[in-house]
Structure 1
Amino acid sequence: MKIIFVDGYNVINSWPNLKFQKDYSFDGARQSLIDSLHNYSVYEGCKIIIVFDAHKVNRSIEKKEDINKNISIVFTKDGETADSYIEREVHNIGRRFEVYVVTSDWLEQQTIFQRGAVRVSSLEFYNEVLDTESRIKNKTLKNSNLSKNNLLDNVDEEVFNKLEAMRRSK
């Protein structure tokens, strides 16, 4: 199974659409990230853990919420960065799974790489998510075109022509 850890605020500050959105609504940007990654995780069949820093929030306790089987959200405890949480979890998982870490923090990328995870920059992942969203749209369009139920699909041409003549004669 492929597991992807995402440094939430690092991604929000790196992705062009979320960077703009956070200036108006940080909660909205967070929710947009969650929605995009939810679609990605279902389509790609992977588990995504989005980690948000709470190290500047006094007396915050670690909170983990499983949205569904594909996506979980973690708010770290007071004094803990997303980087340290991700490092600890990658270490705990070991090399049993295919693990990716999405962050643009260079030092974090080096540390994660040493622990056996694959590092992906926030912008690389942004392009991958956009590509997946495009494939989802194309597949949806293709399926919607296939499922059109035209009269001509269900009757032979002679009957269709007679019905068409009747319709036009009114």
Structure 2
Amino acid sequence: MKSIDKEMTRVLYKSRKILIVDGYNIINAWSKLKTISEEDLQTSREMLVNHVLEYSKIKGLEAYIIFDAYRVKNSEENIQKYHEITIVFTKENQTADSYIEKFISSLSKYDEIYVATSDYAEQQIALGKGCYRIPARELISDVSNAKEALRKKSSFKSKEYNSMNRLENKIDSSVLEKLEKIRRNK
């Protein structure tokens, strides 16, 4: 009877695909963002957020980016929504790793959870809790590949549309112009 109850719970619960990103860990592994962060940390954070936003949209993931405020005096936990991404700044004396570990524990076992970090200890914790790990280098590569695949798909659709057997592709441009004038006058 227990297995039937478990199966019914799984069916009733709509599992989510969740991406959890260790913000500063990924920034420091992404050479372009790391270089920018040395001059302007805020800009590098914004760039990471935008990359993750695009990636999560393409892949259909619910995304969370965790930035730690471990050494920031008197900082309180700050959670912000940016489009469909949740950005978390941890409180003073809390690392992103500890926040991620606690957050993973709060999620359903039916969720498909991906943790993006190159921190070996955090990867082991994520794996131990049944999550998928994505090393920083792999995330960076996946983001680039997903964007490129989307560009190719979009380009193909555009070419496909332009090569369709459409009237405007078959008639003289002056005739098309006259027809357009007639259409606009009605």
The answer to whether TM tops 0.5 is yes
Q: Which has the higher helix share?
A: 2
Matching residue of 1:104: 118
Is it true that 1:66 corresponds to 2:81 in the alignment? yes
Residue ranges of structure 1 left out of the alignment (5+ in a row):
164-170
1:121-161 deviations in Å (ceiling 9; x for gaps) = 111111111110101211222233344499x942585x529
Q: Where does structure 1 differ by over 4 angstroms across 4 or more consecutive aligned residues? A: 147-150
Q: Determine the C-alpha separation between the residues in 1 that align with 2:126 and 2:72.
A: 25
Matched residue of 2:172: which SS? helix
Q: Distance in 2 between matches of 1:131 and 1:32?
A: 17
Aligned equivalent of 2:46, options 14, 23, 31: 31
TM-score, normalised relative to structure 1: 0.85
Q: Is 1:154 paired with 2:163?
A: no
Q: Which residue in 2 is equivalent to 1:166?
A: none
Aligned partner letter, 1:124: E
1:100, 1:117 within 8 Å by CA — same for their partners in 2? yes
Per-residue CA deviations over 1:90-136 (Å, capped at 9, x if unaligned) read 01114120011111011111111111111111111111111101012
Query: Share of identical aligned residues, percent?
Result: 32
Which amino acid is 1:136 matched to? L
2:146 match: 132
Which residue of 86, 95, 120 corresponds with 1:81? Answer: 95
TM-score of the two chains, using structure 2 as the length reference: 0.78
Whether 1:52 aligns to 2:52 is no
Q: Which residue does the alignment assign to 1:167?
A: none
